[in-house]
Structure 1
Amino acid sequence: MPQTWLSTRPQGLDHRLPAMRLWHKAKRLGVWDPREIDLTVDAQDWRRLNDEERDVILRLTSLFQGGEESVTMDLLPLMMVMAQEGRLEEEMYLTSFLWEEAKHVEAFRRFLDEVADEHTDLSRYHTPSFQRLLGEELPEAMGRLRTDSSPAAQAAASVTYNMIVEGVLAETGYHAYDMLLQRNGIMPGMQRVIGNLRRDESRHIAYGVFLLSRLVAEHGDPVWETIEQRLNELLPLALGVVAEVFEPYPVPPFGLRMEDFADFALSQFGKRVARLEKARTQTLEQVMGTALETEETAL
């Protein structure tokens, strides 16, 4: 049988699909270069901080550095599933997704090299909950897709990656950077980096919400049960990461309070659950035509 190509069909690419709308946003908004952001003032601010203040920023950055490397390395199996299923538009979007994750790795490493001048082994900051979530749960859920591309496996992978690692843990981390940097008026370069990352991640999370909604609309309660179970399994790990960040500090620097970040993480978790619950009342046609909730409020 002769080969046929999706993009040569009479209908061509479907630009109405959520993934294609995210693809067009990524082309406009995701083209930023970590090396073009001026970190001169950041380095000056770093030298003025005391040891404990440096330590908490280094701790947060090392968690992000390890996390961004993990999500970069673990995304490919999902792209392969979309290719196998012939979902060209989704695979196209995921190419920008992977590219953005790789830039995030570069951005945090540049901070470590050029601002903190840090070249020790930062795995000392990778706490038990972080190791479990990023070192075990994420690669296992994503790696399973290499041999099991069932709807349940896809749902478990997306919950782990998009809803928990990005939607709860990373967004709580961005909130922490805001408290450290914006509130204290320091490190304008890193403030720009975090702003760019947050915008990228909003598209990633939007894709995860779409993917999970599509799976629920297509396959019903069995997929929803997987989603609900996975969310409840991983929430304690995400909260554990937050708690473990504060453990070394009897009095956290910069006036930080663990309770504020735990509450923020729980709030993000609630938002993810609410978004996904909408899919239980939607048809597949409604999901495919739904408005994207990317949290890019300035757009």
Structure 2
Amino acid sequence: MITPRWTTLLMDDAGLRDMPELPPEAVFTHAEDVAASRPGPVELYRRWERQQWSAADVELGPDAEELATLPAPVRRAVLESITTFIVGEYTGLDILGPILVGSPDEEYSVFLGTQIADETRHTHLMLRLGEEVAGYDPDPHRMLAQAWRSAGPAHQDLALLEGQLVRELLERPRDYGRWLRAVVLFHFITEGILALVGQRALVRTLRRVDALPGIRTAYTAMCRDESRHVGFGTHALRVGMLEGHQDDIYEVLERAVPIAMEFDGRGERASAPFRAMCTDLVRKHLSSIGGDPVFADHLVTHAGSARVG
């Protein structure tokens, strides 16, 4: 059995060619393993320098041909995931700009610059997947419009909350509480729950049917990048908790966790496995930032009874 330490190293050191064959535990626990080591922004920056990869180097041609031969549920899962991440990766750039501008610390700002580079790389990769695999219009503006029309109610609710928090931060970019609220939404919810669950779910599906190595590579590489982003978010929010901003952090979680729990549902109630993965990550991330376990119980209970839309 591989220990968590060696699992982390496998993921840390993998090149693009290695990623389709990494053991599942190397992918599925990496973000939590990184966060557990409590890296600061300087160490996360160093990780970024070591873990570079190119979106242009991911080979997608054979995947586009193989996709048509897969069972309908697998094809549907792949196409829905691509649609979700086209929207998610592009809109991530919208919120990261204000977060960088409002950064309260020089070391934070240096790391956040790397995250903007990551989100740009992910966006380019998802635009490639949209055109080369999903058959979307190659024009990015039209592709985003196509993808957005396919989004479910939870996407729309999250976009409304994101818009509110970004507007508040832009109005007062040096307001630390508002900055932390934006970090909760993006690093804890969007990156730490939705991105990780979505990437891991698709990698698990494609490993099970042993298909689409290019897409497995793409999603595994993005998942490793998310580990750095989540590590930064847990660090920043842990500091924010220690500095007395628990209410700002908890208030956004109260609003955002029920939305996150519905992302798998396309207007229907999200699947039990999806909600279980979200619940597990909510508890782990909240523990990492020094949150109250009683509040974690409240969050997941509230999310279980709430409905979006």
* Match among 80, 87, 101 for residue 119 of structure 2: 101
Residue 145 (1) aligns with residue 163 (2): no
* Match among 75, 79, 83 for residue 58 of structure 1: 79
Q: How does 1:212-291 map to 2 (within 5 A)?
A: 212-218=237-243, 220=244, 223-244=245-266, 258-277=271-290
Q: How does 1:34-49 map to 2 (within 5 A)?
A: 34-49=55-70
Secondary structure, aligned partner of 1:183: helix
User: Which whole-Å deviations, capped at 9, do the CAs of 1:227-259 have from their partners, x for residues lacking one?
Assistant: 122112111101111222767xxxxxxxxx921
CA positional deviation for 1:140: 2.3
The answer to whether the 8 A contact 1:104-1:197 is kept is: yes
Q: Distance in 2 between matches of 1:74 and 1:278?
A: 24
CA positional deviation for 1:270: 0.9
* Match among 194, 204, 211 for residue 236 of structure 2: 211
The answer to whether the 8 A contact 1:77-1:143 is kept is: no
Q: Distance in 1 between matches of 2:40 and 2:273?
A: 34
Unaligned runs of 5+ in 2: 1-38, 138-142, 293-309
Q: How does 1:93-242 map to 2 (within 5 A)?
A: 93-119=111-137, 121-133=146-158, 135-148=159-172, 149-218=174-243, 220=244, 223-242=245-264
In structure 2, what residue type is equivalent to 1:229? E
Q: Tell me which residue corresponds to 1:253.
A: none
The answer to whether the 8 A contact 1:75-1:142 is kept is: no
Q: How many residues align?
A: 247
The answer to whether the 8 A contact 2:77-2:202 is kept is: no
In structure 1, what residue type is equivalent to 2:203? D
Question: Could you tell me the percent identity over the aligned residues?
Answer: 23
Q: Tell me which residue corresponds to 1:78.
A: 99
Q: Distance in 2 between matches of 1:269 and 1:52?
A: 28
The answer to whether the 8 A contact 2:203-2:220 is kept is: no
TM-score under structure 2 length normalisation: 0.74
The answer to whether the 8 A contact 2:55-2:124 is kept is: yes
Q: Tell me which residue corresponds to 1:7.
A: none
Residue 21 (1) aligns with residue 43 (2): yes
Q: Distance in 1 between matches of 2:74 and 2:232?
A: 36
Aligned-pair Cα RMSD in Å: 2.2
Q: Distance in 1 between matches of 2:175 and 2:181?
A: 10
Q: Tell me which residue corresponds to 1:91.
A: 109
The answer to whether the 8 A contact 1:74-1:143 is kept is: no
Rg larger in structure? 1
CA positional deviation for 1:187: 0.7
In structure 1, what residue type is equivalent to 2:106? L
Q: Distance in 2 between matches of 1:89 and 1:137?
A: 28
The answer to whether the 8 A contact 2:82-2:134 is kept is: no
User: Which whole-Å deviations, capped at 9, do the CAs of 1:241-292 have from their partners, x for residues lacking one?
Assistant: 1222767xxxxxxxxx92111111111111111111269xxxxxxxxxxxxx
TM-score under structure 1 length normalisation: 0.77
In structure 2, what residue type is equivalent to 1:209? T
CA positional deviation for 1:152: 1.8
CA positional deviation for 1:180: 2.5
User: Which whole-Å deviations, capped at 9, do the CAs of 1:64-91 have from their partners, x for residues lacking one?
Assistant: 1101111112211111112xx4x22221
In structure 2, relative to structure 1, the CA distance for the partners of 1:52 and 1:118 (3 Å cut) is: farther
Q: Tell me which residue corresponds to 1:11.
A: none
User: Which whole-Å deviations, capped at 9, do the CAs of 1:151-177 have from their partners, x for residues lacking one?
Assistant: 321221111111111111111101221
Q: Distance in 2 between matches of 1:230 and 1:73?
A: 18
The answer to whether the 8 A contact 2:193-2:278 is kept is: yes
